[in-house]
Structure 1
Amino acid sequence: MHDRTLSLQADDLSLLTDLYELTMAACYVGEGIDQRPASFELFTRDLPPHWGYLIAMGLAQVLAYLEQLHFTPTQIAALQASGVFTHVPDRFWSLLAEARFTGDVWAVPEGTAIFANEPLLRIEAPLWQAQLVETYLLNIVNYQTLVATRTARIRDVAGPTATLLEFGTRRAFGPQASLLAALAALAAGMNGTSNVLAALKLEERPQGTMAHALVMAIATLAGGEDDAFAAFHRYFPQATLLIDTYDPIAAAQRLAAQLAAGNPNLKGVRLDSGDLASLSRQVRALLPGVRILASGDLDEWEIEKLLTAGACIDGYGIGTRLVTGYPVNGVYKLVEIDGIPVMKESNQKMTYPGRKQIFRCLDPYRDRLGLATESPLAGETPLLQPVMCQGQRLAEFEHRFPGTIAAIQERTATSVAQLPAAIRRLSHPATAPVTLSAALDALIQKTQHSP
């Protein structure tokens, strides 16, 4: 399996896991409990600082992974040669050779607002399977939920008509992360991505402008900045021009003269540095009919400052701060084994026992965390939906909650619009009141060990 490039293929995903998922599975086999039914839930204990909500994302990749889960003979041989599994029972290897995910999945639809301690998804499967998938599920859901939530916050601040473009590929945590970031950003409300591979795979049109290098190269060789603009428009008519390589106001003045002379190609300009609020107002005065795109380490906080300062900006290119930042610290915990509710009781890391359901009420906005066996009260809607049964996707879920980018965008926009203003604000946001049902509270008391 030697591959110093660490290129990732579909067959590799079963091994894209932490070692202890496999060692625990081997232990379960040795103890004869690997096939016991188990339930694990994925949730966050706390929201990232200054965030009042999360937008769930990543379910599509979770389901694809579970459908394709298997181990090849080469992978099994590599595990055997590692020296880690010398003492495991032989049945562990036959289990891997025949591995397929046969469990059930419950999840909130992508684009749904969610809060701390509420499960984004639940896996119900034989113990070894439910354990094995932990690492990949957290990897997928945590990162896409991070990008989706930041996108939703940026869209909420920028407004519904602003153009938002995802420019984060060069700052994302690796090539695969850049693709997932582009997907999550588009699904949560971005208008486009500069990531060509992601865009074409998603049957979207890649979007972008130009870099300072083109302006400097052609200006140096051909005589000036205007030559660079003219050259780019020869091949990409009406493309947005980056005007701050040298003096953005001087560039805007010359472009205004060209516009007055009948230049049909000038439709948009981009500002990437300096006092964006002041520069955008000056450029707007010079080019009143031309769209202005801003970029340069922007996020929801910076966009709010720009709007407060009266910036004249029609769209934003968002990169570094969209695809990086404080993580969504999702965890994946056992809540039931062989029908017996269990809970973690560690200080500050306690979990709630049993399979759960989120019941949401919109008026007033509140959530009730209860047991999966409970029914909604008047005005409540259960958020966790069955999405996979015995390893097979449920067509009913896809029919009710389509997984297209447009559908998820609409769900995200609706979810955010339903949130109270106090939860949506950037400074010191509130979070939704989440109460525990009487049945869940009683189960906690029953399950908790006495000191």
Structure 2
Amino acid sequence: MRLAVEDYSLLTDLYQLTMAACYAGEGIEQKRASFELFSRRLPTDFGYLIAMGLAQALEYLEKFRFSAKQIEALQETGIFTNVSDRFWSILAQGGFTGDVWAVPEGTAVFANQPLLRIEAPLWQAQLVETYLLNTLNYQTLIATKAARLRDVAGQEATLLEFGTRRAFSPQGSLWAARAALAGGLDATSNVLAALQLGETPSGTMAHALVMALSALEGSEEQAFTAFHRYFPGAPLLIDTYDTVAAAEQLAQKVNSGEMKLTGVRLDSGDLVTLSQQVRSLLPGVPIFASGDLDEWEITRLKAAGAEIDGYGLGTRLVTGKPVNGVYKLVEIDGIPVMKESSGKTTYPGRKQIFRSFVGDKLKVDRLGLMTETPALETPLLELVMQQGKRLQPPETLSTIRRRTAAEVASLPPETRRLDHPVSVQVKISNSLQNLVEQTQKQPTQVQ
């Protein structure tokens, strides 16, 4: 199976299509609808999220179309036998013609704050839900983890994304690499992702090379020499056999001037003790570590005195606790609506996030209505697409990376900590609270 751009419109859940068909049958498919994408709660031990994935969301919306072949394929399923011809007509005629409001990528957000809002004809706003959740939820997770890794490792550490082989799909690996770089990592080993993003891929070697050349050419030392001959700028992986013995051999070459070593990598064992021993032997050589590392393990290594200059992040970066973002209707044909199910209540109306600072530190967020006037506050949601057309070119990774760093730096220490973080207080404006109470009185509310 493969995913092509022309397939984007069909990359959705069946119920999006059946709901759109129902809307068309009832003659309400063109009613203006507003849906907001947000997370009801943050993943466990997360004090914040870093919004990511908007660039791919806008690219998707720009290319959203149904071809005659796709419509025929839907008809052949037999599922839509009873729908009106109006449904097939809107699929054949329409792309996405709505507006999109969103926070810039790299922005710190908290529970119940919309990362994005779609304002479009009801059938369009409904059909795009699945893809938007897919890309924003995943990239937001990876960007947040990358930001946390950068925060605990420090600005001086080199952080490399090595997660392609553990990502959930080839497409997921590209999104993970992008989000990791935008979230604060320095480089990725994913060649396709790096080249598509205008970056330079980064990597070392695997144990297989050391074992193969050692077996065929006589020793680990010869394996290092051979690889270094072709790639003198790449770190050498020195823990295939005896880490300390390998470091001693390399120290002799470095001290004699025979080799200029740019780095060594440790992938196993007691990283604290081994890194200290390697540092004593190769005092001027950067030491990289890898092997199922995450922000908690990096914190532990630093506290224990490990001599590590950079980290390769893979499995635990590109997998883990999901961001459980949801996409909920908040207004239809000018009528505010809300969900009142137990534990899943939503706020009605089109909303804005108003952020206030003391100096460069975040003070408080206020969740209010779009119609409110900010008082010495910064509105976060911006109009990024109008009538289906993007208003600005995509931002560069460096711009998003700088924003991420500034956003994390602005957060309170208790929000940034790994253990039992305290999220930033989000106040509900009086206007929004009044709308909640008014909407709850309406007999048509979802229970």
After TM superposition, the score normalised by the length of structure 1 is 0.96
Task: State which of 222, 229, 232 in structure 1 corresponds to 2:224.
Answer: 229
Q: Give me the whole-angstrom Cα distance separating, in 2, the residues matched to 1:239 and 1:129.
A: 49
Q: Which residue of 1 aligns with 2:389?
A: 392
Could you tell me which residue of structure 2 aligns to residue 373 of structure 1? 371
> Displacement of 1:375 after TM fit?
1.1
Which amino acid in 1 is paired with 2:258? N
Q: Which residue of 1 aligns with 2:331?
A: 336
Find the counterpart in structure 1 of residue 189 from structure 2.
194
Please list every run of 5 or more consecutive structure 1 residues that lacks an aligned counterpart in the other structure. Answer: 1-5
Check whether the contact 1:167–1:194 (CA below 8 A) recurs between aligned residues: yes
> In structure 2, how many angstroms separate the alpha carbons of the residues matched to 1:99 and 1:9?
19
Give the superposition deviation at 1:238. 2.8
Partners of 1:212 and 1:299 in 2: CA distance:
22
Letter in 1 for 2:108: A
Pairing partner for 1:289 from 284, 289, 293? 284
Structure 2 counterparts to residues 50-199 of structure 1, below 5 A: 50-199=45-194
Query: Do residues 268 (structure 1) and 260 (structure 2) align?
Result: no
Identity of aligned residues (%): 68
* Residues in 2 aligned to 1:281 and 1:374: alpha-carbon distance in whole angstroms: 58
Alignment partner of 1:298 out of 276, 293, 297? 293
Alignment partner of 1:137: what SS? helix
Residue 445 of structure 1, aligned match among 416, 437, 447: 437
SS in structure 2 at match of 1:46? coil
After the TM superposition, list the runs of 4 or more consecutive aligned residues in structure 1 that deviate by more than 3 angstroms.
none
Indicate conservation of the 8 Å contact 1:210/1:241, yes or no.
yes
The answer to whether the 8 Å contact 1:239/1:265 transfers is no
- Separation in structure 1 between the aligned mates of residue 256 and residue 148 of structure 2, nearest angstrom: 41
Equivalent residue for 2:424? 432
Report matched runs for 1:339-354 at 5 Å: 339-354=334-349
Which whole-Å deviations, capped at 9, do the CAs of 1:235-285 have from their partners, x for residues lacking one?
111310000001101100111111111133311000000111111111111
**Whole-Å Cα distance in 2 between the matches of residues 69 and 25 of structure 1?**
15
CA distance in 1, matches of 2:164, 2:132: 22
1:21 equivalent in structure 2: 16
Structure 1 distance, partners of 2:320, 2:285, is 33
Displacement, 1:202? 1.0
When structure 1 is superposed on structure 2, of 421-430 and 258-267 the one drifting more is: 258-267
CA-CA distance at 1:449 after TM superposition: 4.0
The one-letter code of the counterpart of 1:349 is: K
- Calculate the aligned-residue CA RMSD, in Å: 1.0
Rounded to whole Å, the distance in 2 between the matches of 1:40 and 1:226 is 61
Whether the aligned pair in 1 keeps the contact of 2:248 and 2:281 (CA below 8 Å) is yes
Alpha carbons 1:233, 1:265 under 8 Å: kept:
no
Moved more, 404-413 or 262-271: 262-271
Deviation at 1:394, TM superposition (A): 1.2
* C-alpha displacement of 1:352: 0.3
State the match for 2:275 in structure 1. Answer: 280
| Matched residue, 1:257 | 252
Q: Is the 8 A contact 2:110 2:423 kept in 1?
A: yes
- How far apart are the structure 2 equivalents of 1:432 and 1:74? 49
Stretch deviating more after TM superposition (255-264 or 367-376):
255-264
CA distance in 2, matches of 1:346, 1:238: 58
Q: Is the 8 A contact 1:138 1:332 kept in 2?
A: yes
1:404 aligns with 2:396: yes
User: Hey, what's the Cα distance between the residues in 2 that align with 1:207 and 1:234?
Assistant: 18
Aligned AA for 2:81? T
Which residue is 1:382 aligned to?
Answer: 379
Contact 2:253 2:259 (8 Å CA) reproduced: no
Q: Distance in 1 between matches of 2:118 and 2:233?
A: 50
Matching residue's letter, 2:284 = G
The one-letter code sitting in structure 2 at the alignment partner of 1:230 is T
List runs of 5+ in structure 2 lacking aligned partners.
none
Q: Secondary structure at the match of 1:369?
A: strand
Letter matched to residue 186 of structure 2? N
Aligned partner of residue 164 in structure 2, secondary structure:
coil
AA aligned opposite 1:262 = G
Q: Distance in 2 between matches of 1:417 and 1:350?
A: 32
Distance apart, 1:42 and its partner CA:
0.1
Distance between the aligned counterparts of 2:258 and 2:151, measured in 1? 35
The answer on 1:216 being equivalent to 2:211 is yes
Q: 3-state SS of the aligned residue for 2:165? A: coil
Partner amino acid, structure 2, of 1:404: T
AA at the equivalent of 2:282: L
Distance 2:284 2:341 in 1: 61
Cα distance in 2, alignment partners of residues 41 and 96 from structure 1: 23
Partner Cα separation in structure 2 for residue 138 and residue 280 of structure 1: 41
Amino acid at match of 1:341: P
Match of 1:170, SS?
A: helix
Structure 1: how far apart are the matches of 2:152 and 2:21?
49
Residue 419 of structure 1, aligned match among 390, 411, 430: 411
Q: Which amino acid is 1:144 matched to? A: Q
